[in-house]
Amino acid sequence: MIQLPLTPPGQTPLRVMTIAGSDSGGGAGIQADLRTFAMLGVHGLVAVTAVTVQNSMGVKGFHEIPLDVITGQIEAVASDIGVQAAKTGMLASSAIIGAVADTWRRQGMADTVPLVVDPVCASMHGDPLLHPSALDSLKSQLFPLATVVTPNLDEVRLLTGIDVVDSDTQRAAAHALHALGPKWALVKGGHLRASSQSPDLLFDGTDFFEFDTARIDTGHDHGAGDTLAAAIASALANGSTVPDAVAFGKRWVTECLRAAYPLGHGHGPVSALFRLNG
């Protein structure tokens, strides 16, 4: 069974924070993160960065949360509740990225709290979730604070200019991403359509780790990237090494993909709820 050690009732569980956007359709973003946190038995903390207006057909628009409210959420929970790991998802703008990075440093979390940076740029329908002008801030301000960055192949292209088509270009992308400052770079291969596998490549500047998982071809994979990053952050909170946390996250998201369900008229979400079945 895929499970982190469970905290006995009445005792404080590990606390994992998501700094991300809300999905009104409940499939991705903060809603996906909190489902994974809950099903893994950790306590989810939240800094909402943006509220998207979306359903299974796509994102109609979004409203950015004021910067002081975003940083206030991080400061409020960090100063009182304590955070063992965090992940970022949709950050929407350069100003939000800068504010999150500054707060992270000012709270002394940069060297103490593992941070998974999922560089969300667009929805699965291609609707923008990050202003294109913010890509530079993502790379220069947030990547250096990251324990691990987890781009998909579209995000890799936007961030590095490298079109990953095979294992050589995947390695080149891992080098280019690692050079931007994260401790580890995970190049997800899930969008490498030619492959019957979905190999992900993890790199720390020295060693490569490959993760092969059977591709689950479901039409419903909304929130898969968020769910993977949330599970990796949860395992890091529990003290896992990065390669172990990625292996754990891959197993988790694979089960969530198997349990994905239709919702509305478009793409349904991956489902962490399978965990309730035992």
| Residue from 225, 249, 266, 269 in contact with ligand PXL (CB under 6 A) | 225
The stretch near ligand PXL (CB under 6 A) out of 18-26, 141-149, 157-165, 175-183 is 18-26
**Closer Cβ to ligand PXL, 59 or 177, answer by number:** 59
CB 156 within 8 A of CB 162: yes
Would you say 22 or 238 has its CB closer to ligand PXL? 22
Build a one-symbol-per-residue string for 73-112: x at contacts with ligand PXL by CB under 6 A, - elsewhere: ----------------xx----------------------
CA distance 149 to 143: 7
Burial of 208 (0-12, 13-18, 19+ CB in 10 A): middle
The residues pairing with 19 across neighbouring beta strands, listed in sequence order, are 47, 88
Closest CA to 274 of 42, 41, 43, 39: 39
Binds ligand PXL by CB under 6 A, chosen from 190, 223, 249, 269: 223
The residues, ordered by sequence, that sit 6+ positions from 257 with a Cβ below 8 Å of its Cβ are 216, 218, 221, 224, 270
Q: Which amino acid is at 79?
A: S
Nearest to 188 by CA among 22, 203, 180, 88: 203
Tell me which residue of 52, 67, 119 sits closest to 88, measured CA to CA.
119
- Using CB under 6 A as the binding rule, whether residue 269 contacts ligand PXL is answered as no
Q: Which is nearer to ligand PXL, 13 or 266 (CB)?
A: 266
φ/ψ of 198, rounded to 5, equals -135, 70
**Which one among 16, 19, 28, 270 touches ligand PXL, defined by CB under 6 A?**
28
x-or-dash string of contact with ligand PXL, 47-66, rule CB under 6 A: -----x-x----x-------
Residue 180 Cβ, how far from ligand PXL at the closest point, in Å? 20
Binding site for ligand PXL (CB under 6 A): 20-21, 23, 28-29, 52, 54, 59, 89-90, 120, 123, 129, 223, 225-226
